[in-house]
Structure 1
């Protein structure tokens, strides 16, 4: 991803999604670049993340809290709690589906946002919001649907590149919290990567000490990316 081949833009300051008292800025790869599909894999390796049709990396002048992280698929072994999660959800069926909007997915997405992110600005998501945030025409995306019989319990928006699977976003039935469906979804993404011989599952950003990020530490070995490249995070 050389500078003479692709332009980077910096966004204006906006509200930080993790710290209410802070503002944030992102570096964004030119969304009009014709080769975004080819850039995506190398961008993941450099810590970028997809949101809708944008590939971005946090670039906040006063804060460096967001650290890219990824699971080492070949060496990952589920811990006891994760094995219990797999057993608890053995009745579910996982389907690899074409990405996109439909009324069933949208209804579940709305319920999830209203329950888990009330007042966060996304909890009244319309069909256009669903499409704009979760899909991109150039992205190698699968919607991993998990169902109990015919009932849709969750969807993991999963981008599958040659060298990395990116866990973009997962939404699920908020009444099924006992199942730990967020954990189950990541375990399924690891298995998807393993089946396809893909070495990494990218989980977005790790923020040390942030309660919303603590679950990522449980997927060991977890690597984080700093100024000197990727290194293994110590076990929690």
Structure 2
């Protein structure tokens, strides 16, 4: 008998560590391994339950004194971009997004390093080598895609400049944006927002109801951009609930 198909996942707790989003808080996570023939099914269920995937690990916050992290998903079928989002889409009309298998490339890594060196010099990924990056992209037992965004060159032999990349899981009810990065030199393009808008379009065209954005962290200004994509649902103690755009969720 294949025990992987019958055993329930085992969950573990990390040791407390400094929270990367809230200076005065200590973070702790609960995690499990995503392996075996049920990995995709478990990833769907766990993501719907507030977990995130990193390589073959699914995790969620399990902090003792803080509940600031809130899982967010956009309702793709009901989404309508507001004026500034339409401008973002227009500014990036010259980009082509190509969906590829989860394979790392040196070109992706060079862009990844440029992004980290500009935006996250002190983050946990700051020292990642190309080998580490390859593992982040390729070590997956679920349906994962790399979406490359390039400036259209107009020449068949020239694929165009790579300006942004998204690592995305395809789930039964939506797209989960695992990680994305872009060339910070193109600040006026708002590439981070554009990739979210493009994923909303892709989800709607595929008949998938949601785009999962990971965690909005109450009190962290760097995470406030996630609240702009409405309508959206937040995972609460009562399940997924439509978020009020004019009020924060209670702790």
Superposition TM-score, scaled by structure 2 size: 0.88
Q: Which residue of the partner structure matches residue 117 of structure 2?
A: 114
Unaligned residue ranges in structure 2 (runs of 5+): 1-5, 153-159, 247-251
Following superposition of structure 1 onto structure 2, how do residues 95-174 of structure 1 map, counting pairs within 5 Å? 95-149=98-152, 150-174=160-184
Following superposition of structure 1 onto structure 2, how do residues 171-182 of structure 1 map, counting pairs within 5 Å? 171-182=181-192
Displaced runs of 4 or more, over 4 A: 31-34
Match of 2:40 among 37, 49, 61: 37
Q: 1:127 to 1:22 in 2, by over 3 A?
A: same
Q: Which moved more, 1:39-48 or 1:18-27?
A: 18-27
Matched residue SS, 2:50: coil
Unaligned residue ranges in structure 1 (runs of 5+): none
Could you say what the CA RMSD is over the residues aligned between the two structures, in angstroms? Answer: 1.6
Q: 1:138 to 1:58 in 2, by over 3 A?
A: same
Number of positions where the alignment pairs a residue of Structure 1 with one of Structure 2: 234
Question: Contact 1:53/1:135 (CA < 8 Å) preserved in 2?
Answer: no
- Hey, what's the Cα distance between the residues in 2 that align with 1:100 and 1:92? 21
How far has the Cα of 1:91 moved from its partner? 0.7
